[in-house]
Structures are given as C-alpha cells and as structure tokens.
Structure 1
Amino acid sequence: MKRTKKNSKSKKLWLKIPLVIILLLVLGVGVYAYSVYHNAKETVNNKMHDPVDAIDPDVTKKKVKATEPLNILLLGIDQRSNDKGRSDALIVLSLDPANDKMQLISIPRDTRTTIIGKGFADKINHAYAYGGSDMSVATVENFLDIDLDYYVRMNMEGLQELVDQLGTISVNNEIAWNDGKYDFTTGPVEMDGDKTMHFVRMRKQDPNGDFGRTKRQRQVIEGIVNKGASVGSVGKINGVIDILGHNMATNLDFDDMKKLLRGYKDTRKNIVSYQMKGSGTYIKTNGKDIYYLVVPDEEISKVHGMISGNGQ
C-alpha cells in the first residue's frame, strides 16, 4: 500500500525546527508587494525546492487543489562538518482545513523501526543519515502506514536566525530551571533566538527527559507560527525568506505555497500536539548494547488513526 542509541548527549541535540507553515503565513502579509513576491518566488523555487522520489507531486497537487487534509514531515537536522547529519526532530504536521485544525505529532528520534531502503531495523532518525530526506519520508510513511504529501527540513542554525529575525517568540513554560545562562521561570517566557535554543536543548533538568524536550520543540513551533502570522514589516518578511532559503529544503514549490496559504491558513486556529509513547530498552546491535525506544503496535495504530482522521 505505502511507498513500501541512547544518542550522543551533545548539546547540539536537534532543534532545528523546520516550518514551512511559517513561510506560508508570513508570505500572506504584504506578499503582493512585488519585491517581496519576487524574492519569495526565486528563493523557494531556486534555493529551497528539492523533490523526493517517495512523494508523487501530481497526487499531492490534486489534494491541495481540492483542499483535502495534508500531512507534512518536519525534519530538524543536526548537520555537522563532514557528516550528513541525523534528523533529531521528526514531527508529522497534519493540516485539516475542514475543521481549521493543525496537528503536531512528535516521533521520538530513538524509535526503533525498519529503515526503508536498507531493510533492517534501526533508530528512525538514522534514516536521514542513510538516505537523506527521501529515505526519511519513506521510513516514516512505512512506520505509521500513512501517506506524506510534503516534507520540510531545516538546519539547527536556521532556527536561531529565524527567531531573531521575527524578534522574539513567546511560550508557556511548565517547569522552572536555570541552565547557567538563562533563568527559565514558569508561565509565559519571551525568548530571542539564543534563548530559544537553550529552551529546546535542555533535557537533564527535565523529569520527563527527552519526552519533555520534544514537547518544548512543539511549543516553539507554535510560538514561531503565531509570531510569523503577525509579522507586518516587509523587511522582516524578506529577512525570513532569506534565512529559510539558506537553511531549509522542501518539495513544496512556490505555487504550492500560495495554494496552501489560501486554503489552509486557518488551520493554525486549533493546534493539537501529541508525543508518541514507547518503552526504552537496550538491544544488542553489531555486538553493542544500543538504546532504542520500542513503540507498541497499539500506539502506532492510535497515531495512524489520529493522522487519518479516525482518532478520538
């Protein structure tokens, strides 16, 4: 039907939040001023557009034209020199225009699953290291038994630049901590790019560990979406476009983005977040005990239903 360890504790864990939805919303503010429109079109089509074999563009374009629900894979890449990188953030963004609903489902990076194109089980975030965005898309589709219509990947450095370009973002922080540089209190927190990176990187002081970190990733996405939707300066819009052009890749072209803007922009009115659950265990792999998160079939079925519109 479908397009058939613990990891390094480096402080560069993830957080490169891709967000095509931000671009879609930002382009809606003064987009028809020629300079902005032209810059956006050139950047998207010549710098960002990167199709993958796992997604049939003709099928997706028909769904967009009919304003049907869409699924977008967001990949946050920790890419270093001489290393292709791994997708330390994997989020399925589902857009339901009929109900003005946006759903963000995080897939833990240590999740053990079959890597499509390799034929063996490994951590789901390794799919990107093995075969880039194409293999990541195919692997997530197989894991959740869904079709993905688009993907967006963004480098870590781009997140910080993006928040700084927007000015600041605001999130509702649920636990208090101090990381030696910033004091994070409970309640609303205003953050620039650097503080945002500290917010999403923290793990050791969070009683929920990596699960708490992925929740903060989704909070930051929501903060960026909300701030991006209110940006009214042409200078900021051009700045956002340039940052995304240097840090983001997607199979969306400019016409796709315009159609999403028109038919799907209200989906941000109702944002639902969910974190896939599983149990951590060590499995001997190539003679080494490697940490994996094993997600039970019942959880996979639940998330499949949520994405397919059959969830509770």
Structure 2
Amino acid sequence: MKRIMLWAASVLLVILFVAGMAVWYLYHSAEQTASTMYQEISPTKVEYVSKDTEVKKTPAQATKSAQTAKAAKAASVPIKRLEPFTVLVLGVDQRENDRGRSDTMIMLSVNPIKHSILMFNIPRDTRTEIVGHGTTDKINHAYAFGGVEMSIQTVESFLDYSIDYYVKVNMEGFARLIDLIGGVQVDNPFSFKYDDHTFKEGHLSLSGTEALMYARMRYDDPRGDLGRNTRQREIVQEIMDHASSLSNVTRLHSLLGEIGDSVKTNITFNEMKKFVTDYRPKIQDIETVEIGGKGQMINGIWYYIVDQSERTRIHNRIKEHLQDGV
C-alpha cells in the first residue's frame, strides 16, 4: 500500500511539474512575442505648444515632463492606484513597398477611477498641420510622411493633448484578431453591399474578413466617413468587451502569436497584463463622441474642416474625463 501511495505521489508530482513547465512556456512565449511587438517612439525635435501651459516644448521634453509628473503623482497615492491614460489606435492600410496611410485613427481616454473609456475617431480627411512636415494636409497623411511618430505629434497638436500609448495595427491583422475572439456582433442600421458581400439590415455576426469590409465602407453611407467611423467604434467596442477572455495565459499566448506580426505598440508585456487584469474589470462604460465639422473643397481636394471651438471642446472632454473626480 505504501509503495502504491508513493508511486501515486510521484506521478502527481510529475504531472504538476509538467503542467508548471507548460504554463511557464506559454507565459515565456507570450512575453517573447510581446517583445517583438514593442516599438518605442523616437520623437523628432519639433516644437509642441501646450495651450494649458503656454510653454513651448519638444515632444521629447513634453514626454519627459509628463512622465515626471506622473511619477510624482503616483508617489503621493497608494500603490494600488490605477492611473488614467490615453491611447491612439492606428489602423494602417499598408501596401507592398509603401508605408501606406492610417486608414483609421481612434483615440481612447481610459479612466478606471470613473470606470469608463471615452472613445472617438479622428476623421481621416481632417485638415490640419502635419507636425514635422511643414504642410497642412489630411491628418491621415501624417503616417505616410513620418510614420507613427509624426502621426502622434500631429494628433497631439490637433487635440492639444499628450498621448501616452499607441497601437498600430495592420488591417489584415485586425481581421485575424476578430476571428481569434470568435467574431463580433453588430447592429447594422441599413443594408449595403461591399466587395460583392451584402450586409443586411439588423443584427449581424461577422467574421474578421466581414468585419473589415463592414468597417471600411463609406461611399454608400449617408453620413460618409462619419458613418464609417461609427461602425469602426462599434467593432472596437466589441473587441474590448471580449478582453476579459485574455486573462487566461493560453488565450493571451494564442492571441499574441496570431497578431504579433501585425501589431506595433509602446505598451510592454507587463503593462498588457496590468491592463487586462487590473484595469479591464473596472471599466463599466464606454462613451463615444464625434468630432463635429464640415466638408469643404480646397484646391480641388475634399477636406473635413474642424474649427478651433470644436477642437477646444474635444480637448476639454478629454481633460475632464481624465480628471480624478467622479
């Protein structure tokens, strides 16, 4: 009997050891994949003016001062305090031998203290200064001219607000991500056809490829690019609603393995884990807003014109949302 018990205990130890090694492998593999996705931004020496301080700073100085202020603030509160932050999501339509343009630009303001996320699109045809390029153009051209760095600097200037993190996603990787989480559910307000695929009016279950087509259509939408932006936000919200499934290390490993080659971000693996385990359970509401403006032809090119009062309104919405008070 003792021999049988000893044998059983030995088998149990082997099973636990193998299981532990498997979990370690998945965790280590996920961490390695995340490291290939990580890409820090290297701001160029372009002056960025903060209207809150009326002091000119280079992006590097602005980032450093923001980090210093954030560290000082964190030191004065309990260690479990979760700080608000901003994220710029760039959906990039890349082509062979061509950097491409940012087909989608979505800004997220995340505040776990208020249990909410504020989300809005920046219309791709928005006319603004392209910081570091010396031109005034459509905001999505910033990526074509100077990649992620110029996109961030241009959006920061446009909103007069700093961006903490970015996530750049190739649109095909976006489709693979949706397939991995089991597809998305949307409520389509009207029937339309895109690339020989018909999207009926009503509640739809979409695969990754279908969701990509659904998010891209704009010419048959009565609201044009604004209608497309609404569909994009709906899909992004669906993806975030599925984020709780990533708490399992196997799912996290599978996700990163599938999309790692399509994503670049300055979010570290440890931050990813913290966002999923600590931040996501606190988010109870996702509020969406829209940047108002009007279409205008300038020198034969159609632009979306956002006046200064609207830019100030959006700036104030972000600032208010990121404040500590409820």
What interval of TM-score do these two structures reach, taking the shorter chain for normalisation? 0.7 to 0.9
User: 2:313 is matched with which residue?
Assistant: 302
User: 1:147 is matched with which residue?
Assistant: 162
* DSSP-derived class of the 1:79 partner: strand
Contact kept in structure 2, 1:166 and 1:231, CA below 8 Å: no
User: 1:59 is matched with which residue?
Assistant: 67
Cα gap change, 1:108/1:83 in structure 2, threshold over 3 Å: closer, same or farther? same
Contact kept in structure 2, 1:97 and 1:263, CA below 8 Å: no
* DSSP-derived class of the 1:90 partner: strand
| Distance (Å, rounded) in 2 between the aligned partners of 1:236 and 1:257 | 13
User: 1:185 is matched with which residue?
Assistant: 200
Aligned with 2:272 (options 251, 254, 257): 257
* DSSP-derived class of the 1:230 partner: helix
User: 1:175 is matched with which residue?
Assistant: 190
| Distance (Å, rounded) in 1 between the aligned partners of 2:186 and 2:172 | 20
Q: C-alpha displacement at 1:178, in angstroms?
A: 3.8
- Cα deviation 1:123-167 (Å, max 9, x = unaligned): 111111111101111110011000110111000110111111222
Q: Which runs of 5+ in 1 are unaligned?
A: 1-31
Cα gap change, 1:260/1:295 in structure 2, threshold over 3 Å: closer, same or farther? same
User: 2:7 is matched with which residue?
Assistant: none
Cα gap change, 1:168/1:253 in structure 2, threshold over 3 Å: closer, same or farther? same
Q: Does residue 1:204 correspond to 2:224, yes or no?
A: no
* DSSP-derived class of the 2:313 partner: helix
User: 1:48 is matched with which residue?
Assistant: 37
Q: Does residue 1:276 correspond to 2:276, yes or no?
A: no
User: 2:301 is matched with which residue?
Assistant: 290
Aligned with 1:83 (options 64, 83, 98): 98
| Distance (Å, rounded) in 1 between the aligned partners of 2:139 and 2:127 | 6
Q: C-alpha displacement at 1:34, in angstroms?
A: 2.3
* DSSP-derived class of the 2:292 partner: coil
- Cα deviation 1:215-260 (Å, max 9, x = unaligned): 1000110111223423687654333111221100011111222333
Aligned with 2:27 (options 16, 24, 37): 37
User: 2:131 is matched with which residue?
Assistant: 116
Q: Letter of the aligned partner of 1:176 in structure 2?
A: S
TM-score (norm 2): 0.77
Contact kept in structure 2, 1:96 and 1:267, CA below 8 Å: no
Cα gap change, 1:266/1:49 in structure 2, threshold over 3 Å: closer, same or farther? same
| Distance (Å, rounded) in 1 between the aligned partners of 2:176 and 2:282 | 25
Contact kept in structure 2, 1:282 and 1:292, CA below 8 Å: yes
Contact kept in structure 1, 2:244 and 2:280, CA below 8 Å: no
Contact kept in structure 1, 2:247 and 2:276, CA below 8 Å: no
Contact kept in structure 1, 2:30 and 2:252, CA below 8 Å: no
Contact kept in structure 1, 2:109 and 2:321, CA below 8 Å: no
* DSSP-derived class of the 1:146 partner: coil
| Distance (Å, rounded) in 1 between the aligned partners of 2:242 and 2:198 | 22
- Cα deviation 1:176-203 (Å, max 9, x = unaligned): 2344744433332111112112211222
Contact kept in structure 2, 1:91 and 1:107, CA below 8 Å: yes
Larger radius of gyration: 2
Contact kept in structure 2, 1:97 and 1:267, CA below 8 Å: yes
Aligned-residue Cα RMSD (Å) equals 2.4
User: 1:165 is matched with which residue?
Assistant: 180
User: 2:87 is matched with which residue?
Assistant: 72
| Distance (Å, rounded) in 2 between the aligned partners of 1:120 and 1:238 | 42
| Distance (Å, rounded) in 2 between the aligned partners of 1:257 and 1:131 | 26
Q: C-alpha displacement at 1:33, in angstroms?
A: 3.4
TM-score (norm 1): 0.81
| Distance (Å, rounded) in 1 between the aligned partners of 2:163 and 2:243 | 24
User: 1:135 is matched with which residue?
Assistant: 150
Q: Which has the higher contact order (CA 8 A, sep 6+)?
A: 1
| Distance (Å, rounded) in 2 between the aligned partners of 1:233 and 1:183 | 36
| Distance (Å, rounded) in 2 between the aligned partners of 1:90 and 1:180 | 23
Q: Does residue 1:238 correspond to 2:243, yes or no?
A: no
Q: Letter of the aligned partner of 1:111 in structure 2?
A: T
Contact kept in structure 1, 2:176 and 2:259, CA below 8 Å: no
